[in-house]
Amino acid sequence: MNFCSNCGSDRLQFKVPLGDNRPRWVCQNCGTIHYSNPNIVAGCLPIWGDQVLLCKRSIEPRLGYWNVPGGYLENGERVEEGASREVWEEALAKVVDLEIHTIYSIPHINQVYMHFLGRMETLEFGVGEESEEVRLFREDEIPWKEIAFTSSVFTLKRYYADLKTGQRNVHIGHLDIEKFRNRK
């Protein structure tokens, strides 16, 4: 950080502010503490009968890989609104009856994924701006080796595990970066 976004000063110091326990950028001119916190990624697994709707990404990162529709939550937006919006933007589908399904942290990149389950209102869907293909899959058709993100894998696996038990649970998980880097 080079300048204070409050007063424009270049007199910034990286220090632990009084009453805090972590270093932050603090403006020595106006006293503003500049917090940097994780981003919320809101997503939803659209469900139609025994199928789920996935999107093949037309953008980086992970161009050409499949994922659960999702993206960054916007300011002033409730998380379930963001999840519904992302389904519309990526898959031109409308979802209803959203229920929180997974909360998945990726600490090393400061992201928290909140994935919902949502029933597709109709069978209408299409290719949105960030997708090159959108498709319904049954469990045995999921292209597991072509899933873009660990958050999507986590959500899909927990969804199918819940189906087998007949229960709907909220699942909390995280990416262990060391295990991820050392996988074979």
Q: Which of 88, 16, 91 is nearest to 56 (CA)?
A: 91
pLDDT for position 81: 98
Residue whose tokens read 């529709």:
69
Both structure tokens of 141: 């058709």
Q: Backbone phi, then psi, for 176, in 5-degree steps?
A: -90, 100
pLDDT for position 122: 98
pLDDT for position 112: 98
Q: Is 69 helix (H, G, I), strand (E, B) or coil?
A: coil
Question: How confident is the chain (184 residues) per 10-residue block, as mean pLDDT?
Answer: 97 96 97 96 98 98 98 98 98 98 97 98 97 98 98 98 97 94 80
All domains of the chain in start order, with CATH: 1-36 (2.20.70.10), 39-181 (3.90.79.10)
pLDDT for position 149: 97
Contact 20, 34 (CB under 8 A): no
Both structure tokens of 69: 């529709």
Provide, rounded to the nearest whole percent, the portion of the chain with pLDDT above 90: 97
pLDDT tens, position by position, 76-87 = 999 999 999 999
pLDDT for position 184: 61
pLDDT for position 75: 97
